[in-house]
Structure formats: C-alpha cells, structure tokens
Structure 1
C-alpha cells in the first residue's frame, strides 16, 4: 500500500471517529473530570466564589453517619438484587425455554413462551418514573392495591402503612427494584439458552438428569458469560438505585431507605453543598469501579465451548 493510500485511509477513518470522540469527551469525560475538581472545593453551586479545601470533603465522608447509613442500604442491595434477580431470571427462563413436556420430539419450551416473554418484559417498557408512581400508589395505606387485596381476602390485620414504617420502607423499595428488573433478565437468559443445542438437553435427559440438575450442570455453565454480564450490571444498579428510591420514599421515613445516590442529590440540591456532593460522587465512582472489577474477577471461569 502506497504512502498516499495510507494517508487517505487514515483521513477517512479520522473523519468518522474524531467528531463522535470529541462529543464524548465534551459531554461525558469533561463532567467526570470537573467532578474530581469540584470535590476538592467548598463550592455551594450558585456563587462563582469557592475555596480549595483539598481532601477535607473526603475526610468529612468518613465521619458522616448519613453517608454510611445510605451505604449500608446499598450494600444490602448489592447482595440481594443480583442474587435474587439472576436466580429468578434463570428459573423462569429455563421454564420458558426448556420447561415443556419431554416427548418423542425432544426437549422444548412451554406453550405460549412468546407470550410469557412479553409479560415478563413488560416492566421494561415503563419508565422509571411510571414504575415509581405506580408502586407508590399500590403501597398507599388507605387506597393502595396491596392493603385493599389483604382486606378483600380477610387478612386486613396484615395491612400496614408500608412506606411510612421504617421497618418496611427499604424492603418495599427493594421489591420494586426486583420486580422491575427480573423480566429483562428472563428475556436475556432465554435468548442465551436458545443458542444451546437441544441435543445436549436430550443427552442429559437420557442420563436421568432432572430439571434442577439440568439447570445447574448444563444450562448455567453454557450461559455463564451472560450471567457474568448480568451480575455486573445489577451490581452497578444496586450501588445507584437513586430514581426508584427518590420517587417512592425520598429516603424516608427517618433515612430508613436512603441510598448513596439520593444522599448525593440531597447534599447538592437541597443543602447546596456541591463540593461535598462531588466528593460523594467520586467515592461512588471508585466504589462502582472496584465492585465491577471484583465481580468480573470472582465470576471469571473458563469458557465452555459447544
């Protein structure tokens, strides 16, 4: 290839790569960099005046009981959300994809599998705002569907002010996060299972494997790459969880359902401490990066070739 042709090719590639990279740098990388800068100041968000305080904001995080309370809730979600979502997603996807009756045709999915996938995926069609408002109304103590259903079946004694009781508020939000995410991973795992040859399932059937054994010894190893990606995404969601919490409980009552993302938001926009809020954001950045790297490391295993 001549020098002229090489330069023409590089110019052609640069013409398509430079503009999007420039936009990405301005609108994505630049705000991240500014957050690191603001984290070292006492900026209030409105006045152009501020002073550099160095690492004082990060020292403040160490002594901030509200931050550690929020982080505790994120830690619970970090354990609960990926585990329960992936287990339920694998179970439902397995039932849809290979849970039908085993006959002379072989192993196949249940009847109406496409309909089930649509039903499970439906929460993904709704925006986070709609999901939050919908469940907030369902939890309403007087007119909510949950207490109304309990009254209708004669279990009115179990009715509670769900979002107004510190014992239940956080778990109510966790339930919403599970409900809104399981369906997506059911469809994702179902798609991954479609690539597994049915001969493998039929061989497991001939060897006398039951459904649980087939799921654990055949399906899970063959879709492990997909499970690993799901685990990382759910971990990131658990560290954030801002939108649903802010809409349903706003961290209450008494900070009983607070999360770090909401703590950052309140610190910046309600207390006007943008410098400290940026320090919380930087801490979240490194926490998310660490958790993602750790999950990828822990869940790494040899790829199973078909």
Structure 2
C-alpha cells in the first residue's frame, strides 16, 4: 500500500515538475527581481545598480501624480465591478429566465443576443481604444458628437475635457466587459434546475422576487468570481487608458492610473528602480483586494440537485 502511494506520488510529481519549474522561472522569479530593483536606483543601463534601500518608497509617498492615479483606480474599483455586474446580471436573467411561458425560459433570440453581447470580447483592447477615440472626436467626424451637432447641440469633449474624460474611459471599460459576464452568468443560470424557478413562481414569486431570492443566491459563487476579476481589471487597467486618452492619461492627468505611471516612469524617464517600487505597491494593492473580497463575500454555499 505504501509502495503504491509512493509510485502514485512520484508519477504525479513527474508531471507537475515541468510546469512548476516554468512557473517559478517566468512568474515568481520576475516578481523577486522586481522587489530587488525597487530598492535600487537602476536607470535601465547599468549592470550593477546602486542599492538605496527604501528611498524609492519614501519618494513615492510625496508623488502627487501617483496618488492621483491611485484615486482613479480606487474609483474604478468601486464602480466598474458594481455597474458591470448589475448590467450583466440583468441581461443574463432576461435572456435565460425572463421570457415567456411563465418566465421559465429566456426571451426569443436569446442565443443571438449572447453572441452580440460577447462581440466586444473578440476585439483587442487597443482596437477598442482606437475605435472609441475616433467615436468620441469633438467634431462632426465623431460618431457620438455628429448627431448632437446636427441637432444644434455643442459637441462634448469626451476625451478633451478633464471633468468628462475619466467617465468616458469608465463607460468604455463597462461596454467591453459586460458581454463576457453576460455569457458567464448565463452559463451559471443554465446549470440551475428549472424546477426551482417553477416552484418559486407557483409560490407566487414575481420577477424581482425570483431574481433576489432564487437567482442571486444560487449564482453567488459566480458573482464572487466576477467581482474579483473585475476588481483586478480595475486595478491593472493600462492599455485602454494609454491608447485612448490624450497625453496617455490626460488631459491634465484626469484619467491616469497606476499602470500608466509605472510605464511612464520606466520607459519615458528611465527610472526603472522607482517604477519597480510603484509596481510593488500596485502588487500589494491587488493581492490585498483579492483577499479582502474573498473574505467579505464568503457565505455558505447553496447546493442543489
């Protein structure tokens, strides 16, 4: 018995060894190097950077632009998961449960709508950024402003006015993310036995009560995963801000985020040591959020046959 367990353990270990080694070399090792570089004054050219301890982190405390970026990421962290999940749950419920026959099936054409909602996911983030950059142009060539100008309304500077630019970026991120979570929640709803919906409706549950008391509790694990993924997206957002906005986070730093400041310090100013320190801070923000979200959203799992 002991010999068989040893052989089985050796067999499993032999298969796991290669991926574990690759993970250590290409994931864990760069993290360790980043922590070391964060405590140096490396400018990207010297082979032996000078060790300066925690000086980069002390400098970070007085970096107003970085803390402005942290504030923007914090607002995204609050609003992006909330709005995206609410919209995605609404559409998923409508497509899968909110149709005819007493609400036990989705609306007509639900399969087509799932494909339509998912479409933004097949586009690269840079492509989405360029498309909306053109759509938000503050002249007659902009798809959004052209109808407004035709009606005699002054064009809106979606990406040129500091008070509007950040919310434009948030809107684009929501537009791109909703489709994936509609499909994710639809898959979760499809796994829930229809008998539960029928029993709730026989007991007199309306659509709102059906959603709150039946759908949401049974879909909670999926919602929890979506919340964490969207939170990480809000903290790590970079490409859509860098490509779509003026001055790569403008105007006047009104849309800058942590990843943009890391890239700017590393590749524009060649402050690789300081950029690594910013990256370490963002790493702990992201890990801390994931742990906190898992703990706060933990609840007793509901099982059904």
Residues paired across the two proteins, number: 301
Q: CA–CA distance in 2 between the matches of 1:298 and 1:175?
A: 27
When residues 54 and 120 of structure 1 are mapped into structure 2, their CA distance, relative to the original with a 3 A threshold, is same
Q: CA–CA distance in 2 between the matches of 1:210 and 1:259?
A: 43
Q: CA–CA distance in 1 between the matches of 2:2 and 2:293?
A: 47
Match of 2:294 in 1: 296
Match of 1:114 in 2: 111
1:238 pairs with 2:237: no
Q: CA–CA distance in 2 between the matches of 1:120 and 1:99?
A: 17
Q: CA–CA distance in 1 between the matches of 2:296 and 2:66?
A: 27
Match of 1:221 in 2: 217
1:179 pairs with 2:178: no
Where in structure 2 are the equivalents of 1:135-284 lying within 5 Å? 135-142=132-139, 143-152=141-150, 154=151, 156-249=152-245, 250-284=248-282
Match of 2:75 in 1: 76
1:57 pairs with 2:53: no
The worse-fitting range, judged by mean Cα deviation, of 283-292 and 157-166 is 157-166
Structure 2: gaps spanning 5 or more residues: none
Secondary structure of 1:167's match? helix
Where in structure 2 are the equivalents of 1:27-38 lying within 5 Å? 27-38=26-37
Where in structure 2 are the equivalents of 1:67-106 lying within 5 Å? 67-103=66-102
TM-score (norm 1): 0.95
When residues 198 and 14 of structure 1 are mapped into structure 2, their CA distance, relative to the original with a 3 A threshold, is closer
Per-residue CA shift, 1:219-249, capped at 9, x if unaligned? 0000000000000011100111111100101
1:253, distance to aligned residue in structure 2 (A): 0.6
Secondary structure of 1:301's match? coil
1:7, distance to aligned residue in structure 2 (A): 5.3
Backbone CA RMSD of aligned residues: 1.4
1:89, distance to aligned residue in structure 2 (A): 0.7
Q: CA–CA distance in 2 between the matches of 1:205 and 1:11?
A: 54
When residues 98 and 158 of structure 1 are mapped into structure 2, their CA distance, relative to the original with a 3 A threshold, is farther
1:180, distance to aligned residue in structure 2 (A): 0.4
Q: CA–CA distance in 1 between the matches of 2:93 and 2:155?
A: 35
